[in-house]
Structure 1
Amino acid sequence: MKKYILIALVLGFCLPGMAQTALKSGTQAPAFTAKDNTGKNLDLKALLKSHKSVVLFFYRGQWCPYCNKHIQQLQDSLQLLTAKGAYVIGVTPETGENINKTIEKTHASFSIIQDKDNSIMKAYNVNYTVDANLYAKLKGYGVDLEKGNGNTDHVLPVPATYIINSAGKIIFMHFDKDYTQRPSVSQIAKNL
Protein backbone atom coordinates (compact mmCIF):
# COMPACT_ATOMS: atom_id res chain seq x y z
CA MET A 1 0.00 0.00 0.00
CA LYS A 2 2.87 2.36 0.80
CA LYS A 3 4.19 1.80 -2.72
CA TYR A 4 0.88 2.93 -4.25
CA ILE A 5 0.66 6.01 -2.04
CA LEU A 6 4.22 6.96 -3.01
CA ILE A 7 3.38 6.47 -6.69
CA ALA A 8 0.28 8.65 -6.32
CA LEU A 9 2.32 11.36 -4.59
CA VAL A 10 5.02 11.33 -7.26
CA LEU A 11 2.48 11.53 -10.05
CA GLY A 12 0.32 14.05 -8.24
CA PHE A 13 3.09 16.52 -7.56
CA CYS A 14 4.11 16.46 -11.21
CA LEU A 15 0.58 16.73 -12.60
CA PRO A 16 -0.21 20.45 -12.09
CA GLY A 17 2.30 21.71 -14.62
CA MET A 18 1.15 19.29 -17.30
CA ALA A 19 -2.62 19.37 -17.16
CA GLN A 20 -4.92 21.27 -19.46
CA THR A 21 -8.14 23.11 -18.76
CA ALA A 22 -11.29 20.98 -18.80
CA LEU A 23 -14.51 21.57 -20.70
CA LYS A 24 -16.88 23.81 -18.76
CA SER A 25 -20.47 23.35 -17.65
CA GLY A 26 -22.91 24.57 -20.26
CA THR A 27 -20.89 23.34 -23.23
CA GLN A 28 -21.98 20.60 -25.58
CA ALA A 29 -20.46 17.27 -24.60
CA PRO A 30 -18.32 15.67 -27.32
CA ALA A 31 -20.04 12.61 -28.72
CA PHE A 32 -18.25 9.27 -28.72
CA THR A 33 -18.81 5.62 -29.53
CA ALA A 34 -16.79 2.88 -27.86
CA LYS A 35 -16.97 -0.68 -26.53
CA ASP A 36 -17.06 -1.14 -22.79
CA ASN A 37 -15.38 -3.85 -20.72
CA THR A 38 -18.23 -6.30 -21.45
CA GLY A 39 -18.10 -5.76 -25.21
CA LYS A 40 -21.23 -3.59 -25.22
CA ASN A 41 -21.24 -0.80 -27.80
CA LEU A 42 -21.78 2.54 -26.09
CA ASP A 43 -22.88 5.59 -28.04
CA LEU A 44 -23.26 8.75 -25.99
CA LYS A 45 -26.14 10.09 -28.12
CA ALA A 46 -28.05 6.80 -27.84
CA LEU A 47 -27.45 6.60 -24.09
CA LEU A 48 -28.82 10.13 -23.66
CA LYS A 49 -32.01 9.10 -25.48
CA SER A 50 -32.60 6.23 -23.06
CA HIS A 51 -31.30 7.84 -19.84
CA LYS A 52 -31.80 11.22 -18.18
CA SER A 53 -28.05 11.72 -17.95
CA VAL A 54 -24.60 10.17 -18.24
CA VAL A 55 -22.00 10.38 -15.49
CA LEU A 56 -18.69 10.20 -17.32
CA PHE A 57 -15.52 9.98 -15.28
CA PHE A 58 -11.87 9.56 -16.18
CA TYR A 59 -9.36 7.62 -14.12
CA ARG A 60 -5.65 6.91 -14.46
CA GLY A 61 -5.50 3.20 -13.77
CA GLN A 62 -5.81 0.27 -11.42
CA TRP A 63 -2.48 1.23 -9.83
CA CYS A 64 -3.93 4.52 -8.49
CA PRO A 65 -5.38 4.16 -4.96
CA TYR A 66 -7.40 7.38 -5.28
CA CYS A 67 -8.97 6.15 -8.51
CA ASN A 68 -9.89 2.83 -6.90
CA LYS A 69 -11.39 4.57 -3.86
CA HIS A 70 -13.52 6.82 -6.10
CA ILE A 71 -14.67 3.88 -8.25
CA GLN A 72 -15.57 1.91 -5.11
CA GLN A 73 -17.61 4.85 -3.81
CA LEU A 74 -19.45 5.11 -7.15
CA GLN A 75 -20.14 1.37 -7.07
CA ASP A 76 -21.31 1.44 -3.46
CA SER A 77 -23.85 4.17 -4.31
CA LEU A 78 -24.59 3.16 -7.88
CA GLN A 79 -28.28 2.58 -7.16
CA LEU A 80 -28.59 6.17 -5.95
CA LEU A 81 -27.31 7.40 -9.34
CA THR A 82 -29.21 4.95 -11.52
CA ALA A 83 -32.45 5.66 -9.62
CA LYS A 84 -32.12 9.23 -10.91
CA GLY A 85 -31.83 7.95 -14.49
CA ALA A 86 -28.03 8.19 -14.80
CA TYR A 87 -25.81 5.84 -16.78
CA VAL A 88 -22.28 5.67 -15.33
CA ILE A 89 -19.21 5.26 -17.54
CA GLY A 90 -15.55 5.15 -16.53
CA VAL A 91 -12.82 5.96 -19.08
CA THR A 92 -9.19 4.88 -18.75
CA PRO A 93 -6.21 4.43 -21.06
CA GLU A 94 -5.50 1.02 -19.54
CA THR A 95 -5.88 -2.30 -21.33
CA GLY A 96 -8.79 -4.64 -20.80
CA GLU A 97 -6.63 -6.82 -18.55
CA ASN A 98 -6.02 -3.88 -16.23
CA ILE A 99 -9.67 -2.82 -16.37
CA ASN A 100 -10.40 -6.32 -15.07
CA LYS A 101 -7.96 -5.68 -12.19
CA THR A 102 -9.86 -2.48 -11.39
CA ILE A 103 -13.12 -4.43 -11.38
CA GLU A 104 -11.60 -7.07 -9.08
CA LYS A 105 -10.46 -4.37 -6.64
CA THR A 106 -13.63 -2.26 -6.71
CA HIS A 107 -16.40 -4.66 -7.82
CA ALA A 108 -17.46 -2.03 -10.37
CA SER A 109 -20.53 -3.16 -12.27
CA PHE A 110 -20.90 -0.12 -14.54
CA SER A 111 -19.36 0.35 -17.97
CA ILE A 112 -15.63 1.01 -18.25
CA ILE A 113 -14.07 2.01 -21.56
CA GLN A 114 -10.48 1.57 -22.65
CA ASP A 115 -9.67 4.79 -24.47
CA LYS A 116 -7.10 3.10 -26.74
CA ASP A 117 -6.29 6.11 -28.89
CA ASN A 118 -6.96 8.69 -26.15
CA SER A 119 -9.67 10.23 -28.33
CA ILE A 120 -12.25 10.54 -25.54
CA MET A 121 -9.69 12.03 -23.15
CA LYS A 122 -8.62 14.50 -25.85
CA ALA A 123 -12.21 15.42 -26.72
CA TYR A 124 -12.89 16.26 -23.06
CA ASN A 125 -9.50 17.95 -22.76
CA VAL A 126 -8.35 15.89 -19.76
CA ASN A 127 -5.30 14.24 -21.35
CA TYR A 128 -1.70 14.97 -20.50
CA THR A 129 1.59 13.31 -21.42
CA VAL A 130 3.84 12.01 -18.69
CA ASP A 131 7.38 13.29 -19.31
CA ALA A 132 10.36 10.94 -19.56
CA ASN A 133 11.63 11.72 -16.06
CA LEU A 134 8.30 10.95 -14.40
CA TYR A 135 7.82 7.89 -16.62
CA ALA A 136 11.15 6.53 -15.37
CA LYS A 137 10.18 7.21 -11.73
CA LEU A 138 6.85 5.44 -12.16
CA LYS A 139 8.52 2.49 -13.83
CA GLY A 140 10.93 2.34 -10.87
CA TYR A 141 7.87 1.97 -8.61
CA GLY A 142 6.53 -0.87 -10.74
CA VAL A 143 4.05 1.14 -12.85
CA ASP A 144 4.79 0.44 -16.51
CA LEU A 145 2.49 2.75 -18.48
CA GLU A 146 3.50 1.17 -21.79
CA LYS A 147 2.54 -2.31 -20.66
CA GLY A 148 -0.48 -1.12 -18.66
CA ASN A 149 -1.89 1.04 -21.45
CA GLY A 150 -0.73 -1.09 -24.38
CA ASN A 151 1.01 1.80 -26.15
CA THR A 152 4.08 4.03 -25.94
CA ASP A 153 2.48 7.48 -25.77
CA HIS A 154 2.48 7.82 -21.94
CA VAL A 155 -0.86 9.67 -21.88
CA LEU A 156 -2.98 9.75 -18.74
CA PRO A 157 -6.16 11.65 -17.87
CA VAL A 158 -6.54 14.25 -15.18
CA PRO A 159 -9.12 12.58 -12.93
CA ALA A 160 -12.32 14.34 -13.98
CA THR A 161 -16.07 13.80 -13.76
CA TYR A 162 -18.78 15.18 -16.04
CA ILE A 163 -22.56 14.94 -15.86
CA ILE A 164 -24.14 15.21 -19.29
CA ASN A 165 -27.89 15.85 -19.53
CA SER A 166 -30.30 14.38 -22.08
CA ALA A 167 -29.78 17.41 -24.35
CA GLY A 168 -26.07 16.57 -24.51
CA LYS A 169 -24.96 19.53 -22.39
CA ILE A 170 -22.41 19.31 -19.61
CA ILE A 171 -24.32 20.33 -16.47
CA PHE A 172 -21.63 19.48 -13.92
CA MET A 173 -17.90 19.04 -14.07
CA HIS A 174 -15.23 18.29 -11.54
CA PHE A 175 -11.68 18.77 -12.79
CA ASP A 176 -8.94 19.29 -10.27
CA LYS A 177 -5.23 19.02 -10.96
CA ASP A 178 -4.89 17.73 -7.40
CA TYR A 179 -5.36 14.02 -8.03
CA THR A 180 -6.64 13.47 -4.47
CA GLN A 181 -9.73 15.62 -5.01
CA ARG A 182 -12.73 13.75 -6.45
CA PRO A 183 -16.41 14.66 -6.30
CA SER A 184 -18.42 12.82 -3.68
CA VAL A 185 -21.30 10.63 -4.79
CA SER A 186 -23.69 12.96 -2.96
CA GLN A 187 -22.29 15.92 -4.92
CA ILE A 188 -22.80 14.00 -8.17
CA ALA A 189 -26.33 12.88 -7.16
CA LYS A 190 -27.29 16.43 -6.18
CA ASN A 191 -26.49 17.59 -9.71
CA LEU A 192 -28.45 14.87 -11.52
Structure 2
Amino acid sequence: MKSVIITLLFTLSFSFLHAQKTRRAEDAKGLNTGTKAPLFSAIDADSSEFNLSAALKDGPVVLIFYRGFWCPVCNKHLATIQDSLSLVTKKGATVIAVSPEKPEYLDKMREKTGAQFRLLYDDGYKIADAYDVTFTPPLATLFTYNTVLNAKLKESHSDDSQRLPIPATYIINTKGIITWRQFDPDYHNRSTVKAIIEHLPVHETGH
Protein backbone atom coordinates (compact mmCIF):
# COMPACT_ATOMS: atom_id res chain seq x y z
CA MET A 1 0.00 0.00 0.00
CA LYS A 2 2.85 2.34 0.88
CA SER A 3 4.53 1.75 -2.48
CA VAL A 4 1.28 2.51 -4.30
CA ILE A 5 0.95 5.82 -2.46
CA ILE A 6 4.56 6.73 -3.22
CA THR A 7 4.06 5.92 -6.91
CA LEU A 8 0.88 7.97 -6.99
CA LEU A 9 2.58 10.95 -5.35
CA PHE A 10 5.50 10.68 -7.77
CA THR A 11 3.13 10.61 -10.74
CA LEU A 12 1.18 13.60 -9.48
CA SER A 13 4.38 15.53 -8.79
CA PHE A 14 5.71 14.75 -12.28
CA SER A 15 2.44 15.85 -13.87
CA PHE A 16 2.47 19.07 -11.84
CA LEU A 17 6.06 19.88 -12.86
CA HIS A 18 5.23 19.08 -16.48
CA ALA A 19 2.27 21.44 -16.36
CA GLN A 20 4.37 24.16 -14.72
CA LYS A 21 7.09 24.19 -17.37
CA THR A 22 4.98 23.64 -20.48
CA ARG A 23 2.76 25.84 -22.60
CA ARG A 24 -0.84 25.05 -23.46
CA ALA A 25 -2.21 25.38 -26.98
CA GLU A 26 -4.49 28.14 -25.72
CA ASP A 27 -1.45 30.18 -24.68
CA ALA A 28 -0.05 30.31 -28.21
CA LYS A 29 -1.40 33.39 -30.00
CA GLY A 30 0.40 33.30 -33.34
CA LEU A 31 1.70 36.36 -35.18
CA ASN A 32 -1.00 38.71 -36.42
CA THR A 33 -1.60 40.10 -39.89
CA GLY A 34 0.33 43.26 -40.63
CA THR A 35 3.35 41.84 -38.80
CA LYS A 36 6.75 41.49 -40.45
CA ALA A 37 7.23 37.76 -41.02
CA PRO A 38 10.33 36.29 -39.35
CA LEU A 39 12.76 35.15 -42.05
CA PHE A 40 14.26 31.67 -41.85
CA SER A 41 16.14 28.94 -43.66
CA ALA A 42 15.38 25.23 -43.25
CA ILE A 43 16.12 21.94 -44.95
CA ASP A 44 13.49 19.86 -46.72
CA ALA A 45 12.85 16.12 -47.05
CA ASP A 46 15.82 15.86 -49.44
CA SER A 47 18.06 17.89 -47.09
CA SER A 48 18.08 20.79 -49.57
CA GLU A 49 17.91 24.28 -48.09
CA PHE A 50 14.90 26.58 -48.43
CA ASN A 51 15.36 30.29 -47.77
CA LEU A 52 12.24 32.38 -47.16
CA SER A 53 13.89 35.66 -48.12
CA ALA A 54 14.93 34.24 -51.50
CA ALA A 55 11.50 32.69 -52.11
CA LEU A 56 9.73 36.00 -51.48
CA LYS A 57 11.63 37.55 -54.39
CA ASP A 58 9.59 35.31 -56.72
CA GLY A 59 6.15 35.90 -55.17
CA PRO A 60 4.07 35.46 -52.02
CA VAL A 61 4.60 32.44 -49.78
CA VAL A 62 1.92 30.28 -48.17
CA LEU A 63 3.43 28.96 -44.93
CA ILE A 64 1.63 26.01 -43.36
CA PHE A 65 2.51 24.56 -39.95
CA TYR A 66 1.54 20.92 -39.39
CA ARG A 67 2.05 18.46 -36.55
CA GLY A 68 3.51 15.39 -38.23
CA PHE A 69 3.21 12.36 -40.49
CA TRP A 70 1.28 10.54 -37.75
CA CYS A 71 -1.57 13.07 -37.67
CA PRO A 72 -4.62 12.00 -39.77
CA VAL A 73 -5.94 15.57 -39.93
CA CYS A 74 -2.56 16.84 -41.17
CA ASN A 75 -2.48 14.08 -43.79
CA LYS A 76 -5.89 15.06 -45.09
CA HIS A 77 -5.10 18.78 -45.02
CA LEU A 78 -1.83 18.55 -46.94
CA ALA A 79 -3.32 16.08 -49.43
CA THR A 80 -6.12 18.58 -50.09
CA ILE A 81 -3.59 21.37 -50.60
CA GLN A 82 -1.71 19.15 -53.04
CA ASP A 83 -4.89 18.33 -54.99
CA SER A 84 -5.44 22.05 -55.68
CA LEU A 85 -1.80 23.14 -55.68
CA SER A 86 -1.93 24.39 -59.27
CA LEU A 87 -4.67 26.88 -58.34
CA VAL A 88 -2.34 28.41 -55.76
CA THR A 89 0.82 28.39 -57.87
CA LYS A 90 -1.04 29.99 -60.80
CA LYS A 91 -1.33 33.08 -58.63
CA GLY A 92 2.45 33.16 -58.32
CA ALA A 93 2.62 31.77 -54.78
CA THR A 94 4.96 29.22 -53.28
CA VAL A 95 3.56 26.72 -50.77
CA ILE A 96 5.72 25.35 -47.96
CA ALA A 97 4.76 23.21 -44.97
CA VAL A 98 6.77 23.15 -41.75
CA SER A 99 6.88 20.61 -38.91
CA PRO A 100 9.34 19.68 -36.12
CA GLU A 101 10.05 16.36 -37.83
CA LYS A 102 13.46 15.36 -39.16
CA PRO A 103 13.91 14.88 -42.94
CA GLU A 104 13.28 11.12 -42.91
CA TYR A 105 9.88 11.74 -41.33
CA LEU A 106 9.14 14.54 -43.77
CA ASP A 107 9.65 11.92 -46.45
CA LYS A 108 7.03 9.71 -44.78
CA MET A 109 4.60 12.63 -44.95
CA ARG A 110 5.43 13.22 -48.60
CA GLU A 111 4.65 9.58 -49.36
CA LYS A 112 1.34 9.76 -47.49
CA THR A 113 0.09 12.97 -49.09
CA GLY A 114 1.82 13.06 -52.46
CA ALA A 115 2.98 16.58 -51.59
CA GLN A 116 4.96 18.19 -54.38
CA PHE A 117 5.47 21.38 -52.39
CA ARG A 118 8.36 21.53 -49.95
CA LEU A 119 8.09 20.03 -46.48
CA LEU A 120 10.56 21.67 -44.10
CA TYR A 121 12.26 20.53 -40.89
CA ASP A 122 11.86 23.03 -38.04
CA ASP A 123 15.05 22.15 -36.18
CA GLY A 124 14.77 23.16 -32.53
CA TYR A 125 11.26 24.62 -33.08
CA LYS A 126 12.92 27.88 -34.15
CA ILE A 127 10.36 28.67 -36.85
CA ALA A 128 7.32 27.72 -34.75
CA ASP A 129 8.68 29.76 -31.84
CA ALA A 130 9.27 32.78 -34.09
CA TYR A 131 5.67 32.63 -35.32
CA ASP A 132 4.38 31.97 -31.77
CA VAL A 133 2.61 28.71 -32.57
CA THR A 134 4.51 26.32 -30.27
CA PHE A 135 2.90 24.43 -27.38
CA THR A 136 3.25 21.19 -25.40
CA PRO A 137 0.31 18.74 -25.30
CA PRO A 138 -0.82 17.30 -21.93
CA LEU A 139 0.86 14.05 -20.83
CA ALA A 140 -2.23 11.94 -21.51
CA THR A 141 -2.47 13.36 -25.02
CA LEU A 142 1.21 12.72 -25.65
CA PHE A 143 0.74 9.13 -24.54
CA THR A 144 -2.04 8.71 -27.12
CA TYR A 145 0.02 10.30 -29.89
CA ASN A 146 3.08 8.19 -29.18
CA THR A 147 1.38 4.84 -28.57
CA VAL A 148 -1.85 4.84 -30.60
CA LEU A 149 -0.67 7.02 -33.51
CA ASN A 150 2.99 5.95 -33.28
CA ALA A 151 4.20 9.55 -33.41
CA LYS A 152 7.59 8.83 -31.77
CA LEU A 153 7.94 12.51 -30.91
CA LYS A 154 11.17 12.17 -28.93
CA GLU A 155 12.73 10.25 -31.81
CA SER A 156 11.36 12.25 -34.73
CA HIS A 157 12.05 15.72 -33.26
CA SER A 158 15.32 17.49 -32.49
CA ASP A 159 14.89 17.06 -28.72
CA ASP A 160 12.68 15.24 -26.22
CA SER A 161 10.42 18.17 -25.25
CA GLN A 162 7.63 16.80 -27.49
CA ARG A 163 6.42 20.26 -28.42
CA LEU A 164 4.13 20.74 -31.40
CA PRO A 165 2.95 23.64 -33.56
CA ILE A 166 -0.59 24.93 -33.79
CA PRO A 167 -1.52 23.91 -37.39
CA ALA A 168 -1.67 27.50 -38.63
CA THR A 169 -1.43 28.92 -42.15
CA TYR A 170 0.16 32.28 -43.05
CA ILE A 171 0.26 34.19 -46.31
CA ILE A 172 3.37 36.38 -46.59
CA ASN A 173 3.61 38.99 -49.35
CA THR A 174 6.79 39.90 -51.24
CA LYS A 175 7.47 42.74 -48.80
CA GLY A 176 7.68 40.15 -46.05
CA ILE A 177 4.42 41.17 -44.38
CA ILE A 178 1.85 38.68 -43.09
CA THR A 179 -1.32 39.56 -44.99
CA TRP A 180 -3.58 36.70 -43.85
CA ARG A 181 -3.60 33.88 -41.36
CA GLN A 182 -5.71 30.94 -40.29
CA PHE A 183 -4.97 30.18 -36.64
CA ASP A 184 -6.98 27.98 -34.27
CA PRO A 185 -5.79 25.98 -31.22
CA ASP A 186 -8.34 23.33 -32.24
CA TYR A 187 -6.22 21.19 -34.57
CA HIS A 188 -9.31 20.00 -36.44
CA ASN A 189 -9.76 23.46 -37.97
CA ARG A 190 -7.48 24.09 -40.95
CA SER A 191 -7.09 26.54 -43.80
CA THR A 192 -9.02 25.82 -46.98
CA VAL A 193 -7.69 26.16 -50.51
CA LYS A 194 -10.58 28.53 -51.27
CA ALA A 195 -9.62 30.87 -48.43
CA ILE A 196 -5.93 30.78 -49.38
CA ILE A 197 -6.67 31.67 -53.01
CA GLU A 198 -9.09 34.44 -52.02
CA HIS A 199 -6.49 36.06 -49.77
CA LEU A 200 -3.42 35.77 -51.99
CA PRO A 201 -2.12 39.18 -53.14
CA VAL A 202 -3.22 40.13 -56.66
CA HIS A 203 -0.60 40.91 -59.34
CA GLU A 204 2.12 40.81 -56.70
CA THR A 205 5.73 41.31 -57.79
CA GLY A 206 8.97 41.28 -55.88
CA HIS A 207 10.16 44.54 -57.39
SS in 2 for 1:49: coil
Normalised to the residue count of structure 1, the TM-score between the two structures is 0.86
1:23 correspondence with 2:51 = no
1:172 to 180, 190, 193: 180
1:19 deviates by 4.1
The 10-residue stretch of structure 1 (176-185 or 29-38) with the greater mean CA deviation from structure 2 = 29-38
Deviations 1:55-91 (A, max 9, x none): 0000000111110111001111111111101011100
1:186/1:25 CA distance change after superposition, 3 Å: same
2:204 is matched with which residue?
Answer: none
Letter in 1 for 2:42: A
1:149 correspondence with 2:157 = yes
Letter in 1 for 2:156: G
Q: Is the 8 A contact 1:60 1:159 kept in 2?
A: yes
- Residue segments in structure 1 that go unaligned for 5+ positions in a row: 1-14
Letter in 2 for 1:135: L
1:86 is matched with which residue?
Answer: 93
Letter in 2 for 1:181: N
1:126 is matched with which residue?
Answer: 133
**1:168, 1:80 → 2: CA distance?**
22
1:76 is matched with which residue?
Answer: 83
- Percent of aligned pairs with the same residue? 41
What RMSD over aligned residues (CA atoms) do the two structures have, in Å? Answer: 1.6
1:16 deviates by 6.4
1:139 deviates by 2.7
1:151 deviates by 2.3
1:94 deviates by 1.1
Max Rg structure: 2
Q: Is the 8 A contact 1:90 1:111 kept in 2?
A: yes
**2:54, 2:71 → 1: CA distance?**
31
Normalised to the residue count of structure 2, the TM-score between the two structures is 0.80
1:17 deviates by 5.0
Q: Is the 8 A contact 1:19 1:127 kept in 2?
A: no
1:59 is matched with which residue?
Answer: 66
